[in-house]
Amino acid sequence: MLTLDLTNAPHWHDLAAGVRVQLRPLTTALMVATRSDPVVESLPEVASDEERAVAFAKALARSAVLSWEGIGDADGHAIDPSPDAVDALLDVWPIFEVFQLTYVSKGLLLEQEKNVSALSSTGPSAGASDTARVANPAEPVRKPAKTARRG
């Protein structure tokens, strides 16, 4: 069942020990705006998937971050979110990973929920079980299997 949050209130997300960010809800409008972000749109066609993922995540975070705690400058003074500071935050690999897993992936998981069909137990899907097992994978097959009869 899909649970709707009709309040559309911002939520706090813990990104690391002592570091948390308050983020806007991940809405369609926010995703569409992120796709239209000038940095995302200016990526060259030859940009790798990884470059695109980083650019998209940073653009999304620049729009989504409302407030944060536990983030400061080189002198240890707390700083407010700014586009440059948000980009610098996502340049920290563990922070980027948690942001992707706790915020971005929720939108992607919702996409997967659209498919309510069960995995095929006999087809090529991930849920299919093996139909033949080899006792010793290092041992070659003695003779090929026969073709199935028709009809």
Backbone angles phi, psi at 61, to 5 degrees: -65, -40
Q: Is residue 52 part of a domain?
A: yes
Averaged pLDDT score across all residues of the chain:
81
**Which positions ≥6 away from 21 have C-beta within 8 Å?**
12, 13, 15, 65, 66, 67, 68, 69, 81
Tell me how many degrees the CA angle 3-4-5 measures, rounded to the nearest 5. 120
Q: Is residue 119 part of a domain?
A: no
Residue 107, classed as helix, strand or coil, is helix
Q: Is residue 26 part of a domain?
A: yes
Q: Is residue 81 part of a domain?
A: yes
Q: Residue 7: what pLDDT?
A: 77
Structurally, the chain folds into a number of domains equal to 1
- Is the pTM higher than 0.75? The answer reads no
Residues of the chain with pLDDT under 50: 115-134
Q: Is residue 20 part of a domain?
A: yes
Backbone angles phi, psi at 28, to 5 degrees: -60, -45
Q: Is residue 101 part of a domain?
A: yes
Residue with tokens 């087809």: 123
Q: Is residue 6 part of a domain?
A: no
Helices 49-64, 83-90: inter-axial angle, 10-degree rounding: 130
Name the residue range of residue 95's domain: 11-113
Q: What is the pLDDT of residues 33-73, one digit of tens each?
A: 999 999 999 999 999 999 999 999 999 999 999 999 999 99
